[in-house]
Structure formats: C-alpha cells, structure tokens
C-alpha cells in the first residue's frame, strides 16, 4: 500500500484526506493507495522527510506552517515551487525528493473550469501573502494583467515588483477597472464584512474567493447580488489537489466526486 499524507500543524481539519480518498476509490486505486493526515511539528520535519526517502511514505501535501521551511530538506524544486518560493506537495523521482507547488495552477484551472480565460484580462488580487504569490506568478505567466492590492502597502509593492506588475493599498480598488477580482486574504473566514465595497462590482466582473470555509463568504454573497459570476474556494482547493493526484498516481483526478466530497464535508461542519 502506497501511503500519501497531508502534513501540517494543525492538520485536524484538513479536507485533503476525504477529497483524495474518494478520488482513489472512484478510480479503484484504493487497493494501491491510502491518504492520511499527519500532525508534524517543525522539529519533526527531518524525520518526516526520511520516511519519504525510505519509501514508508509515497508522497505528501504540505500545508501551513511548513510550506517554506521544508525547502532546505528537499533534493530539488520544480520551477513552479522555485518561483513561488513555497512547496505544497512532494513526490519522489528516481530516489530524489521533489518539492512542487500546485496552488497557482489550481487557481488557474478553477477559473478555466468556470469559463474564465485570464489572458489579457485585468485581474485584481487582494492580499500579498503566500497564496497571492502563487496565484500572481501563475496568472501573470498565463497572460493576465495583474494588480496586487494589500492592507500593508509595502508588501503589495514588494510582491508586485517580484512578479512584474503593479501593487497598491486596498483603497486603490475604487480607481481601477478590472475583469476579475480574487480574494486571497483571510478576511471572510470568520464571516467578516468583505474588503470590497459592493458598489464597485458589476455583472461584467468575475469574483473569486479562495476561502472555502464558509463556502459562501460575504464577498461571494455581495458579488452574487450584484450579478457577477462567482467562483468559491472549493474550486481552487479541488484543482490544486487534482494536480497533485495526477503527479502521484499518473491518473486524471475525478474532479466532480472530489468537489462533492468537500462540499458534503463542509456542510456537515
């Protein structure tokens, strides 16, 4: 049995085991693979990496707070992980541990699935943390015109200069015209009022929130009421997982059953 794991601290609420195990079952791969979660403290990362090298573990998803600190323990990074500066999954190739990042492609594929092609589109990204970085680099590479807005302006400016785009404070939004708006901040996880004045939204704008719990943040609710196309955070969660699934197993992931499992699980909470 090949064992896959999600690793983080905390890890209790990770939806990855549910999502990957239904996918494995659907493709009748559950006799070969099993997906579990592991609470790993930072000081335990060395031992964890050894269990990947020894084959005790077959692959892993990496979540907070280990996405950056795991890097020096790996043999190689993919170009995506290198440029994003963080690892969200690990696989073994010819005995080498490879760190990769599927967050950006997960966001891109969630947009594509909703019929949104970002090339030449004006995309505003709220937030300048790790998720913003992954998304900004990936969408820029796919031809989007990005503007990064963040509460702490210096962080917006610094990330923007890395990505090669513009960066401002959140206030700038009212001066901008844009096609797609993506929230990567934590605002909305606890039912906070959205950072976006609903009057700035109209039906020609696509609004995506990468928060998946709650499934409908206040931003998504406001956007729906303004007639926008909306994409909730389940899309990116499932698509980043699907990319990892393909790398580990070699099979295309069954997106719909994964989504259903995630949504059912979130509704239970």
Query: Would you count residue 61 as binding ligand ATR (CB under 6 A)?
Result: no
CB of 64 to ligand ATR, least distance (A): 7
CA–CA gap between residue 140 and residue 143 (Å, rounded): 5
Q: How far is the CB of 173 from ligand ATR (least distance, A)?
A: 12
Peptide bond into 214 cis (omega under 30): yes
Please tell me the distance from the alpha carbon of residue 53 to that of residue 57, in angstroms, as a whole number: 8
Indicate the residue among 129 and 203 with the shorter CB distance to ligand ATR. 129
184 vs 217, beta carbon nearer ligand ATR: 184
- CB of residue 89 vs ligand ATR: minimum separation in angstroms? 16
In the bound state with ligand ATR, the residue whose beta carbon lies nearer, of 107 and 231, is: 107
Paired tokens of 183: 């929230």
* Residue 37, φ and ψ in degrees, nearest 5: -125, 150
25 binds ligand ATR (CB under 6 A): no
Applying CB under 6 A, does 151 fall inside the site for ligand ATR? yes
- Cβ-closest residue to ligand ATR? 129
Q: Does 152 bind ligand ATR (CB under 6 A)?
A: yes
Which member of 67, 121, 140, 259 is catalytic?
Answer: 67
Minimum Å gap between C-beta 143 and ligand ATR is 23
Phi, psi of 60 (to 5 degrees): -150, 150
Residue 29 or 126 having the CB closest to ligand ATR: 126
Pairing of strands 122-126, 180-183: parallel
Among 2, 112, 141, 155, binds ligand ATR (CB under 6 A): 155
Supply the minimum distance, in Å, between the C-beta of residue 200 and ligand ATR. Answer: 16
Is residue 67 among the annotated active site residues?
yes
Q: Compute how many other C-beta atoms are within 10 angstroms of the C-beta atom of residue 162.
A: 15
Residues 192-211 that bind ligand ATR (CB under 6 A): 195
Q: Which residues, 168 to 197, sit near ligand ATR by CB under 6 A?
A: 184-187, 195
**Which of positions 73-132 make contact with ligand ATR (CB under 6 A)?**
127-132
Provide the annotated active-site residues.
Answer: 67
- Which stretches of the chain bind ligand ATR, using CB under 6 A? 127-132, 150-152, 155, 184-187, 195
């Amino acid at each position: 049995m090949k064992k896959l794991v999600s690793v983080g601290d905390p890890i209790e609420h990770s939806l990855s085991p549910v999502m990957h195990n239904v996918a494995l079952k659907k493709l009748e791969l559950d006799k070969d693979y099993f997906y579990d979660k592991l609470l790993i403290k930072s000081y335990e990362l060395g031992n964890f990496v050894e269990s990947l090298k020894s084959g005790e573990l077959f692959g892993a998803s990496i979540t907070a707070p280990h996405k950056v600190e795991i890097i020096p323990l790996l043999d190689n990074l993919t170009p995506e992980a290198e440029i994003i500066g963080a690892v969200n999954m690990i696989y073994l190739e010819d005995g080498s541990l490879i760190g990769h990042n599927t967050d950006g492609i997960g966001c891109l594929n969630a947009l594509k699935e909703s019929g949104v092609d970002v090339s030449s589109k004006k995309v505003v990204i709220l937030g300048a943390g790790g998720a913003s970085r992954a998304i900004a680099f990936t969408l820029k590479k796919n031809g989007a015109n990005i503007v990064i807005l963040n509460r702490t302006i210096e962080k917006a400016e610094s990330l923007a200069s890395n990505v090669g785009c513009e960066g401002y404070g959140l206030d700038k939004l009212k001066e901008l015209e844009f096609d797609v708006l993506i929230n990567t901040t934590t605002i909305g996880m606890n039912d906070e009022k959205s950072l976006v004045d609903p009057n700035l939204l109209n039906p020609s704008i696509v609004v995506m929130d990468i928060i998946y719990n709650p499934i409908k943040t206040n931003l998504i609710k406001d956007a729906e009421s303004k007639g926008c196309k909306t994409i909730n955070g389940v899309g990116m969660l499932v698509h980043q997982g699907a990319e990892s699934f393909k790398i580990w197993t070699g099979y295309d992931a069954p997106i719909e059953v994964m989504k259903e499992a995630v949504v059912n699980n979130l509704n239970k909470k």
